[in-house]
Chains A and B, each alone.
Chain A
Amino acid sequence: MKKQNMSIFGTGGRSVAVALLAVLAVAACDAIDPTQVNNPTTTDDDLAEATNPTEALLPGLRAQFARMINAYVVAAEVISDNYSIHGTGIIVDMDEPHEVTSDLVNSTGTSASGVYWNVQELRALADFVINDIAPNDPGAPPALVAEAHYYRGMAFLTMGEVFSNVPHEEDGMPQPSETALTRAISDLQAGTGFGPQANAALARAHRLLGDAGSAASAANAVLGASADFLFAPSYDEQFLGNTPVAFLVLRALQEMQPLPRLDFLDPKYTERDSPIPIAKAEEMHLILAEAALASGNVGEARSHLASAVTVAKSRGMVSFDDIDERRNADLSLRPRSEEILIRSDADSPYRAGLVLNRPSDGLEIPYISGTSLSADSIAGLGGENEVWHALWLARQEILLLEGRRLADLGIKLPMMLREIDQNDNIAEGDPGTLPIVPGYIPQNPRYAMDIYTPLDLYDGVDPGAPLVKSEVTMHVDMNKVLVANNASPFN
């Protein structure tokens, strides 16, 4: 039985209510469309509306270039003999070149900082600017296009320096490093409008290709532009910091320690925004010295070497309060007292001045270039092999934490596993999928390039433990090994 008297709707009212609801529903849908969403990031449609797209994208290339250098420097320093890993921030296998895999090489402890990834992203982003954006951007300044070529050239140069074979395009076959270097040269030539750094990179590319004449020519062009040339764009303290600083100064996980004989140069970068030198006059002198040596002109080589050392020593020093206690993973103390003498192998003489007191306030650290060589020591060098040895040592010290040492040792890294997995034209075992480690790189014992004796330099592990042994012998002098194996690309 219906209780009509309680209804708020009469028979007519029901129709009105239906009509009202229908009108309200239509009006509501019109006024508030619940299906519309707004993607808060830039889409293709948004990009098409940019008024100066080339100019807008260039900062992205600069940032990506900074990321590539960050990734590359950390990987190159730990895989080479310059630094060793003692904490947990970087996978320890990165310290042993023979154990570097295509899986591992993309990780230097911060997963997004893989060198392969960042090299390819820089190349691809520069491709996008050069091929897709700039041609359709009538207002694109030539200087910015030159800069874009420089970054793509640096991506190819790094590819050629670090990897043996990598693809240059989607589904592409792996290209040998020579092809990458040739493409680098092409882009860098188009990028000379960006500044002498393009010529500096050309010198490096020609050197890696073994073309001493072209390398020397480019190096001289740089020195002609500026005798103390330096290209070292700064990092960003807040948003994109200098990665080595995270490992060498902030040391959240005690990741990296320098080879004891390079202690006096560490940490080189002391602030989050510290620049990493990309190109500098010292490297040009060292290339000229190497070209001269390769052609048998020892005197000229000695002269260029001395010039490199002179420029290096003219660079400034930074005062640094170091709290690091120089510990190994087992908390034992590494060399950290200035009384310590080090010889670079059992057949070499002990040298002083290579180790600083740590921890200590007010340490004077070279922040662009530093070296244990001097005009006198260069003058006192004996035969050609001693000059070669000094040259390798100068490259190691002056170019420390700039990433050159990996290629100097002749080591090439495998491409990233994802590239192998995703490209049907590349299979495991193909060129570029495995590391290339020259036979002269020792692999027994493990970490042979990094180790030294004795380990019990101090009486205990407490912070105040006194030094009880002051003579340290490195297991191997890799610079001697390089000399013995004629490792120069010019040879």
Chain B
Amino acid sequence: MQLSRLASSVAGSLLALLALAAATASPALAQTGVVQGQVVDAASMRPLSNVQILVAGTGIGQLTNSSGRYVLLNVPAGEHTVQATLIGYDEATQTVTVTAGQTATADIQMSSTAISLNEIVVTGVGAETTRRALGTSVEVLAAEDFELAPVQSVDQLLQGRVAGATVNATSAQPGTGSLINFRGVSSVFGAQTPVIYVDGVRVDNDQSTAAGTGGEQSSALADILVSDIERIEVTKGGAASTLFGSDAATGVIQIFTKKGTPGAPRITARVERGIEMPELKYIFDMGVIFPERVESGEITERFMRDLYFKNGQTQNYYVGVSGGTADVTYSVSGRLEDLTGTQPRDASTNYNIRGGLQASLSEDFTLEFSGNYVRHNFERLYNGAAIADPLTTFEVGDALFFSGASTLLEALDIFLLPQIDESVNRFIFSAGARWNIMDDLSFRMTLGTDNRNNQQRTYQPIGFTPGEPTGNLRRYDRNFTSVSLDGGLTYAWESTGGTVGSSTTVGVQGFREEESVIWGNGRTFALPGTFNFGSAAVITAAEGNVEVFNGGFYLDEQVSLWDKLYLGGGFRIDAGSSFGDNIDTELYPKATGSYILSEDVGLPLVDELKVRAAYGQTGKFPGAFLKDRTFSATSFRGESAPRFSNPGNEDLRPEKTSTIEGGIDAALWNNRVGLDLTLYEARTTDALFDVPRQPVTGQGIQQENVGEILNRGVEVALNLQLLNTQSLAWSIGGTFNYNDNEVTDMGGVPEFSAEGSQKRVTGCWTQSDPNDESTCRGGPVGAWYLTMPVDTNGDGLPDGSERALTGTFPVPDKSGSANTTISIGNDLTISALADWAGGHDVFDYGSVWATFNGIYRRERIRCGMEEGAAEGCAYAFPTQYRADGTVRGKYSQSAARTGFLYDGDYFKLREVSLRYLLPEDWAGTVGAGRATVYANGRNLWIWSRNQMIDGELNGLSGGGLRLGSESSITLSPNRTFRFGVEVVF
């Protein structure tokens, strides 16, 4: 019922818009002709489809078909310039003279380019700037790169597609988000998630938007749109992010949605079906965990595989219409995605309606609007840190113990009782204006809001013995609102002949964010079926509210000399509600330079070569109210009972990351090879550490600007066009990044825990002179700090235990991706994407848990289960000895946690896609201009160095700083196969 209602409302909306479009489209005028032609690759003469053709100054345009052809009707008679644009190619133009009633031909050849130096970028610069003028690294993802990719959320979309990004999923369950990290961990508080803008609106990117469900958090990333994105610009901090001030140290992701292009209404419909298959590489099932029950015949060793896991299904429907006139363009769409997962109570439904509109009220004044509504309903299970998680409790051998059941079948029924349901309603609206006040002076402004409300209900019904047997209902409501404003005035000037150019922008940019959370809990119900916590015997509730403002003024100057040397500079002055009372403003300067070396120096095999360098500061503002000394209170015996809360710090200010970077963009070997190389050093000073007050003060911890963190690294992106013939094109590409992360100054603070007690921030990770602390080198943020066996009496046998740094860390220091695309003819495209990360260690909490039941999972997997099999086995959990050398037994898990820390290196075949453009006459039979069938798969194959847990997952991430790599029994993202048809009318 819901589906049909949604479909009819989408259809209704679209029809109304179509009517509007038809009304705004001008009727054909007399004195017009037709322009037709074909667009081909200049080198191979291969027809190019999806090229945007536009008759300059008329608003008449079209995309080329599978044969590279286009036909433009009603073109006014006279001389015109036909423009052709396509990602990966230089823009091409052709002049054509149209005679009334005649057909003119304008065939166009386009030259591919390995680096798009003329591409326009807006992120991090005051005004639109070509890539050749940028002194920084800015990644741009175009719609063509991901339009039909098998992804559900923007974090999945970024996986493997951005050099220098590490994007690690949390689990297979819906509503969760990946940990995204650019250029290492630059802060020890809060998530490293970059800030995200959608059409100029700063949107919710919180990774913890509901109550935790066994170490797993709901994430606002899960419902950021992925359809109708025109392009995504990614800056990874430094000068490219300076103009965002105290908010951009972790980088900025800007998403621009489609507003339509001139032309007749173009309707796109897509139907997609898919299969979700569980990734069981790290699930060992009951033959390992409950062998005695298998032996007795109660269950099979495939118990969970047969009775718990299943194949899920996806269905994805999309319909959109876009088009417009020279003055008004539009793009409207609706989408429905329904997914049933691979575990029981694992499903999600995503409704999305959006629209983008661009209207030129005069030649000088343009308005833009975009609105996006998402409704995301999902249900999921508890995750691995919870006793209530069925997968974990079976996999660690606790299913009978905690359920009180006598058989595993009965236990499974009990563990499937709880329900975790969440619904998200999210509306993002953006309005913008551009006004060319004078020829040299322009103004632009964007104002928008993101409003995200979610409600989570966690229900343990009566009889749920592993949890609250009398019933328990928890509700978590969160309401998030942000309002963003960005406005700038640009004065652009160019000398006669274009030798010298200048662009000066002054602007303001800021946002206000409000978050309100209400928790309610009802415990003990008289009757089953109650979903109202007001009916419970014991009711508790609480709330939390956060308000933040951050904004600033900026100035950005770009100077171009001879159109090959570009110098830039600027600053931002910031103020924020989270700054301490003694801090008024913060200054963030930047300076950039780029030089198109190939314009002056001819190098063998080099077509284009840009060298660039930049220095810039960015910031990260402190926690919302951490500047204040506060008192909190709880209810106690009917009274409000106050105690000390935050100690307060009047000098609290944003931490600052100063980045110096340099690199090259090069097109080599007749534009067959594109290379983008960046070296950077990012030093975070005044780093905000949670500095504990002495317990004797009764005060807890206070955020203070005391630390310093250094990240140094390299990012490389390489693309190679191996073949480019009329019948076959084959390209390969890849990215690589390495980052070295070091805490260079602890600010006098002792080592402290980061995200749980097993990860440490330390100023002394290695020490070249054991007697001289000044020779210490700081550790990476979150260095593993675990208990390990030690020999205390020097007899060579481990008899004691101590907690120590293991020399390893949880955040990958190396990651990369590889991709390839093969185009056969102009109709068939096959592409693949893989990504990998490494250098990190992962902690296997599930196996820790299993030892409580005497199960040493890793030994059983590696060495078998026969009596004494572990002896002499390549892996055996350490044996503890007594002082006299006699065997005491196995170490307890708490005394030998290093036994559960493994190499986290992994490689995943992330996506394989096949797309076939059906012959035009086939498409024509349904009245369509173009029809595409496609099939793709995601998460198809995993290689990992350890056999126990997925090196990508972050199943035990808590709130705040999230470093990941700690999982209990957590299901890897599903293996997904999708099949779809896209028809364009």
Contacts and interface: CB of A to CB of B under 8 A. Distances in A.
Interface of A: 2-3, 6-9, 14, 34-44, 47, 56-57, 59-60, 62-64, 66, 88, 91-93, 103, 116-117, 120-125, 127-128, 166-172, 233-234, 236-240, 252, 329-331, 416, 418-419, 421-423
26 contacts: A3-B363, A6-B362, A34-B510, A35-B512, A36-B549, A39-B630, A41-B628, A42-B632, A43-B629, A43-B630, A44-B628, A44-B629, A62-B641, A63-B643, A64-B643, A93-B895, A120-B695, A120-B696, A124-B697, A125-B644, A128-B698, A170-B697, A236-B636, A238-B635, A416-B695, A418-B694
B246 to A, nearest CB: 13
Contacts of B549: 34-37
A408 B435 CA distance: 83
B631 interface: yes
Contacts of B577: 35-37
A47 B750 CA distance: 32
Interface of B: 327, 361-365, 387, 401, 437, 483, 510, 512, 538, 540, 544-545, 547-549, 551, 575, 577, 624-625, 628-637, 639-646, 648, 692-699, 750, 803, 852, 854, 892, 894-895
B694 A422 contact: yes
Given A7-B361, A7-B365, A37-B624, A419 B642 contact: no
Contacts of B548: 37
Interface centre among A40, A88, A240 (most CB of B within 10 A): A40
A302 B327 CA distance: 104
Contacts of B361: 6-8
Contacts of B401: 331
Contacts of A117: 695
Given A121-B644, A236-B636, A238-B538, A9 B365 contact: yes
Chain A to chain B: the 10 pairs with minimum beta-carbon distance, closest first: A124-B698, A7-B362, A63-B641, A421-B750, A59-B639, A37-B547, A63-B636, A60-B642, A59-B641, A121-B698
A41 B634 contact: no
A38 B362 contact: no
A91 B693 CA distance: 25
A93 to B, nearest CB: 7
Contact of B634 (A8, A239, A252): A239
B696 A124 contact: yes
Interface centre among B365, B544, B631, B692 (most CB of A within 10 A): B631
Nearest to A43: B628
Nearest to A44: B629
A125 B694 contact: no
Contact of B854 (A7, A125, A330): A330
B854 A39 contact: no
A12 B634 CA distance: 63
Given A47-B631, A62-B636, A116-B695, A57 B642 contact: yes
Given A36-B549, A41-B632, A423-B696, 15 more contacts: A7-B361, A7-B365, A35-B551, A43-B629, A43-B630, A44-B628, A56-B642, A59-B639, A60-B633, A88-B852, A124-B697, A124-B698, A128-B644, A172-B696, A419-B695
Given A7-B361, A35-B551, A93-B894, A41 B692 contact: no
Contacts of A171: 694
A170 B698 CA distance: 10
B636 A239 contact: yes
A380 to B, nearest CB: 43
Contacts of B547: 37-38
A8 B365 contact: yes
Contacts of B641: 59-60, 62-64, 240
Nearest to A35: B549
A482 B928 CA distance: 95
Contact of B696 (A6, A88, A91, A419): A419
A41 B852 contact: no
Interface centre among A59, A66, A121, A168 (most CB of B within 10 A): A59
A66 B636 contact: yes
A7 B366 CA distance: 11
A304 B251 CA distance: 74
Nearest to A169: B696
Nearest to B364: A7
B630 A422 contact: no
Contacts of A57: 642
A305 B932 CA distance: 93
Contacts of B540: 238-239
Interface centre among A63, A103, A116, A167 (most CB of B within 10 A): A63
B694 A170 contact: yes
B632 to A, nearest CB: 6
Given A125-B643, A236-B635, A238-B635, A8 B692 contact: no
A103 B785 CA distance: 13
A150 B981 CA distance: 78
B694 A34 contact: no
A127 B625 CA distance: 25
Nearest to B438: A14
B973 to A, nearest CB: 29
Given A7-B363, A59-B640, A44 B648 contact: yes
B636 A240 contact: yes
A18 to B, nearest CB: 8
Contact of A39 (B628, B642, B696, B803): B628
B637 A234 contact: yes
A423 B692 CA distance: 11
A240 B643 CA distance: 14
A123 B852 CA distance: 39
A171 B693 CA distance: 10
A6 B327 contact: yes
Contacts of A38: 545, 547
A59 B636 contact: yes
Contacts of B696: 120, 123-124, 166-170, 172, 419, 423
B694 A42 contact: no
B894 A91 contact: yes
B435 to A, nearest CB: 9
B416 to A, nearest CB: 20
A427 to B, nearest CB: 12
A231 B139 CA distance: 69
B248 to A, nearest CB: 19
A131 to B, nearest CB: 13
Nearest to A155: B698
B636 A422 contact: no
A15 to B, nearest CB: 11
Contact of B803 (A7, A47, A103): A103
Given A7-B363, A92-B892, A421 B642 contact: no
B700 to A, nearest CB: 9
Contact of A42 (B437, B630, B639, B852): B630
A233 B637 CA distance: 10
Contacts of B644: 121, 124-125, 128
Nearest to B510: A34
Contact of B642 (A37, A42, A127, A169): A42
B698 A125 contact: yes
B631 A42 contact: yes
Contacts of A236: 635-637
Contact of A41 (B639, B645, B694, B750): B645
Given A6-B327, A63-B634, A125-B698, A92 B894 contact: yes
A64 B648 CA distance: 21
Contacts of B637: 59, 62, 233-234, 236
Interface centre among A3, A60, A62 (most CB of B within 10 A): A60
Given A120-B695, A167-B694, A237-B538, A41 B365 contact: no
Contacts of A121: 643-644, 695, 698
A124 B629 contact: no
A234 to B, nearest CB: 7
Contacts of B639: 59, 62
A35 B628 contact: no
A47 B644 CA distance: 12
A125 B633 CA distance: 13
